[in-house]
Structure 1
Amino acid sequence: MRLGVFDDDRLGVIHKDEVLDVTEIAGVHSAGRQGPLHALIACGQLEARLTEEALRSAPRVANPRWKAPLPHPDKILGAPANYRAHVEEMGNPTTINEWGLFLKASSSVIGDGGTVELPYTDVRTDQEGELAVVIGREARHVSAGEALDYVFGYTCLLDITTRSTEDRSTRKSYDTFTPIGPYIVTKDEIADPDDLRLRCWVGDDLRQDASTSAMIFGVSQLIAYASSVMTLFPGDVIATGTPEGVGPLSDGDRIVVEIEQVGRLTATVSSNGAVPYADRPQAKV
């Protein structure tokens, strides 16, 4: 099943090539700032509420405007240096084994078709296409063998990164730096998340083309590791890391990340409001 959020925070299901509005039948019409899909994940009632019979009565929707499926997740966890070829291109031998995980601000999330806003005129900002895992139920000290039981689904994510001097969580948490979507694919549709082709274009340039099989920590190991450190809650997002091929973004660029069986996410780039790095607030202290 493919679920997303569209228009005025309506919950949509892509079913037999049609988009259905299931907001009412899912019971999430007043979901709050985290949105209707987060509410459905948190209640754990997907199968009970969105039955085939219920879907038959759901209204059809033409030309939905997809928004971020999870606009304010409790946590976004990132997996740095999780592809060896990316480690090599960055010239730093340290991998996820040594780095551990990092947190991104949930306020950095935007949806499909959104605009990435470059913060600086003179500091490189890169695209990083990634597979994202959405947690389905509370997880703490989960083994790798049982980790996939805690997954709700998967989506596409862009981990936009400024190559400046600040801590990783700062450089990756600017508003608009985490495009997600356009929808979430439930785990039953993905036989093996560690064997998916990921591609990312900037304009006509195919910059990234790899398989998630090249990850150092696969999806199960990432969940096990994360849950050994902190409790994972329904709707939390784990960005699984980016393969080689990251590169600088410029005003007017169009980014596309496509992951087989998962979807295709787009974003544009703007330098409107960008300032010289020396003019950032912390430089004036």
Structure 2
Amino acid sequence: MKLALFDDHRLGVVDEAANGPVVVDVTDALGRPHDPDPLTAGWWRALARDYPRLREGLADAARTGEARPLDSVALHAPALNPSKIIACACNYADHVAEMHDVQERTLGGVESWMMNFDVFLKAPSSLSGPRDAIVLPEEIVAAGQEIHHESELVIVVGEGGTDIPEESALDHVFGYTLGLDITVRSAADRSRRKSYDTFSPLGPLLVTADEIGDPAGLEIRLDVNGEKRQDVRAADLLTPVPAIVSYASRMMTLLPGDLIFTGAPPGVGPIEPGDTLRSWIGGIGELALDVRRG
């Protein structure tokens, strides 16, 4: 099932039609009053947790409801107020290799500890939607620091937990979406460099885990101004999705609706005001984002 958050933070099911993708409002099938405030919308986290029980009712509502063209609605990021955004570092071998040159250029030397797989946190306030611009902070641009794109597969946690075994980790995944981990290249802590407003664009849709199946087959691409920068498959992850979920859950309790960025593919590079980024994951969709100066 492909899900969207749109207009007044309504829940929609997206499908293909003869004239393009359409969305059907299935909010009422959740069986609870709708709270449009993203700061208090616990219904979203409940959906992430309870999707297996709600799936049939949502599918029935999608079959019988009124379909609207997807481009006629205001799309939001397909996540509401997650308790945390977890992100993976150094999860593609070729990206680890390229970071030696990036760090030599931007830091004047290689930080060896940064070349190992691990997880870190990004601020939930860095989330932005599929039709929002990426805003580069004025002071960072003025200082001449590089700001890079990182196009990533993002896990949306379903039933959370602690110390989740790797063999059952996919049972704790609600779905997947596409995200960009926008990054200032500096000596500052990762969480600081990656948590500016609009530095976690997300969308356009969330595709539930039962539709994706094995996420290893997903292709991830990113172009900047029509030039290909990144093109990998999730199968290239050094630490695959089940191991990521298990590893993260050993450090922090995963809660329904939490987001996990799975790591930057090789091909990272600077973005500048005026650029247009197009990022795509097969089966999930495309983000087309303009870059501007704050």
TM-score by length of 1: 0.89
Can you list the C-alpha shifts for 1:195-219, whole angstroms capped at 9, x where unaligned? 2211001111110011111111000
Residues 9 and 33 from structure 1, CA distance in 2 versus in 1: closer, same or farther, beyond 3 angstroms?
same
Aligned counterpart in structure 2 of residue 256 of structure 1, from 235, 254, 278: 278
Aligned counterpart in structure 1 of residue 217 of structure 2, from 185, 189, 195: 195
Counterpart of 1:201, as a letter, is D
1:93 Cα deviation (Å)?
A: 8.2
Match in the other structure for 2:106: none
Asked if residue 79 in structure 1 is aligned to residue 88 in structure 2, the reply is yes
Counterpart of 1:59, as a letter, is E
Asked if residue 129 in structure 1 is aligned to residue 139 in structure 2, the reply is no
Counterpart of 1:74, as a letter, is S
CA distance in 2, matches of 1:94, 1:82: 15
The secondary structure found in structure 1 opposite 2:246 is: helix
**Identity across the alignment (%):** 41
Kindly report structure 1 stretches of 4+ aligned residues shifted beyond 3 Å: 34-39, 42-45, 92-99
The secondary structure found in structure 1 opposite 2:210 is: helix
CA distance in 1, matches of 2:114, 2:177: 21
Larger CA deviation: 203-212 vs 154-163: 203-212
Asked if residue 23 in structure 1 is aligned to residue 30 in structure 2, the reply is no
Asked if residue 41 in structure 1 is aligned to residue 48 in structure 2, the reply is yes
Aligned counterpart in structure 1 of residue 64 of structure 2, from 51, 57, 69: 57
Match in the other structure for 1:281: none
CA distance in 2, matches of 1:41, 1:96: 32
CA distance in 2, matches of 1:211, 1:153: 17
Counterpart of 1:47, as a letter, is R
Residues 269 and 28 from structure 1, CA distance in 2 versus in 1: closer, same or farther, beyond 3 angstroms?
farther
CA distance in 2, matches of 1:195, 1:56: 28
Asked if residue 240 in structure 1 is aligned to residue 262 in structure 2, the reply is yes
Match in the other structure for 2:175: 153
Counterpart of 1:179, as a letter, is P
1:39 Cα deviation (Å)?
A: 4.2
1:191 Cα deviation (Å)?
A: 2.6
Question: Is the Cα–Cα contact under 8 Å of residues 138 and 234 in structure 1 kept in the other structure?
Answer: yes
Question: Is the Cα–Cα contact under 8 Å of residues 7 and 65 in structure 1 kept in the other structure?
Answer: yes
Residue correspondence of structure 1 range 105-254 to structure 2 within 5 A: 105-119=123-137, 120-121=140-141, 122-254=144-276
1:266 Cα deviation (Å)?
A: 2.2
1:100 Cα deviation (Å)?
A: 1.9
1:16 Cα deviation (Å)?
A: 4.7
Can you list the C-alpha shifts for 1:161-209, whole angstroms capped at 9, x where unaligned? 0012210000000011000011100011113212221100111111001
Larger CA deviation: 63-72 vs 219-228: 63-72
CA distance in 2, matches of 1:176, 1:10: 21
Question: Is the Cα–Cα contact under 8 Å of residues 178 and 284 in structure 2 kept in the other structure?
Answer: yes
Structure 1: any 5+ residue segments left out of the alignment? 274-285
1:49 Cα deviation (Å)?
A: 3.0
CA distance in 2, matches of 1:73, 1:28: 20
1:14 Cα deviation (Å)?
A: 0.8
1:9 Cα deviation (Å)?
A: 1.2
Question: Is the Cα–Cα contact under 8 Å of residues 66 and 111 in structure 1 kept in the other structure?
Answer: yes
The secondary structure found in structure 1 opposite 2:217 is: coil
Question: Is the Cα–Cα contact under 8 Å of residues 49 and 160 in structure 2 kept in the other structure?
Answer: no
Higher helix share: 2
The secondary structure found in structure 2 opposite 1:107 is: helix
1:56 Cα deviation (Å)?
A: 3.1
Can you list the C-alpha shifts for 1:230-270, whole angstroms capped at 9, x where unaligned? 11011001100011101101111111111112221222111
Question: Is the Cα–Cα contact under 8 Å of residues 77 and 103 in structure 1 kept in the other structure?
Answer: yes
Asked if residue 100 in structure 1 is aligned to residue 118 in structure 2, the reply is yes
CA distance in 1, matches of 2:226, 2:156: 30
Question: Is the Cα–Cα contact under 8 Å of residues 3 and 13 in structure 2 kept in the other structure?
Answer: yes
Counterpart of 1:253, as a letter, is D
CA distance in 1, matches of 2:95, 2:171: 29
Match in the other structure for 1:283: none
The secondary structure found in structure 1 opposite 2:62 is: helix
Q: How many residues align?
A: 271
